[in-house]
Amino acid sequence: MLVKELEEVINYKLHIGLLAAMPEEIGIAKDNLTKIREYNYGDLKIYSGIWRNKFSNEETLISMAWSGWGKVSASRAATRIISNNLGKSIDYFIFTGVAGAVKDHLEPFDILISDSVIQHDMDARPLFDKYVIPSLNKNKLFPDQIINQKIISCLSKLKSRDLKNNFGNIYKGLIASGDLFIDNKIKLLEILKDFPDLCAVEMEGAAFAQVCCQEDIKWTIVRVISDKADNSAGNDFSIFVEKYKSISWKLIESIFMSF
């Protein structure tokens, strides 16, 4: 990077990281950035550019990527984005995309913001209790509550405008991650025995959260419900993702406005 470009980067007030598992979950976000630079790490591409708030006219530096499915892929991509800081560290890091609903009241297109996350396939017994992450000695990880409140407040205001025709209700709750696409109630009930307040399941968020916690980066996870994590989840998920890719930017832009 040229010295002039580096100086420009440092002058931006915020540097926000954005990560999702699939390109459909980021949609046309790249098309809404200017001064884009691409960084390649094997098969991972990171895009950094400037997003301008259409209401305040403020500019924010954004670094984003899609990681691929699963905890390892999410951890790798999160680490790469944090390390690729362009001379200005990541101030806030957001993971977004779709998730399977556990609670009956959650419907497709509802927005779920994490108030905590667990790795449902973490089991280091007998050395640690089930679900406890050995390196952190915790089973639940908690996002930055100030970020959460800002996002909820902003989304609630925009719900009556830009988001109204595309998304459902806004909720907060516990999200579980694991290297398993959950499409049957038997596995789900196993997790619910230990975490009856569980709201949704996916495959990346808690691993992303662990990286952020260990790197001391403020984070949160914003998911959109795609299916009911039952026997029809595979088919429902595929159909939903095709619809979601055309509107995912509306949610992402609204999240950016929170800052």
Distance CA 54, CA 106 (A): 31
- In contact, 224 and 111? CB cutoff 8 Å: yes
Which residue, 72, 16, 80, is CA-closest to 45? Answer: 80
Distance CA 79, CA 65 (A): 11
- In contact, 176 and 192? CB cutoff 8 Å: no
H-type alpha helices, 18-69: none
For residue 235, what pLDDT is reported?
Answer: 65
| Assigned token pair, 244 | 């979601």
For residue 227, what pLDDT is reported?
Answer: 81
For residue 4, what pLDDT is reported?
Answer: 46
Q: In the chain, what are the domains? A: 3-257 (3.40.50.1580)
For residue 164, what pLDDT is reported?
Answer: 74
The pairing of beta strand 59-66 with beta strand 15-20: parallel
114-123 per-position pLDDT tens digit: 999 999 999 9
Which residue, 251, 241, 234, is CA-closest to 23? Answer: 241
First to last CA, the chain: 27
For residue 96, what pLDDT is reported?
Answer: 98
186-231 per-position pLDDT tens digit: 888 889 999 999 999 999 999 999 999 999 999 999 999 998 766 6
Distance CA 103, CA 86 (A): 41
- In contact, 134 and 127? CB cutoff 8 Å: yes
pLDDT exceeds cutoff 70 at 252: yes
232-244 per-position pLDDT tens digit: 655 678 888 888 9
Report helix, strand or coil for 21.
coil
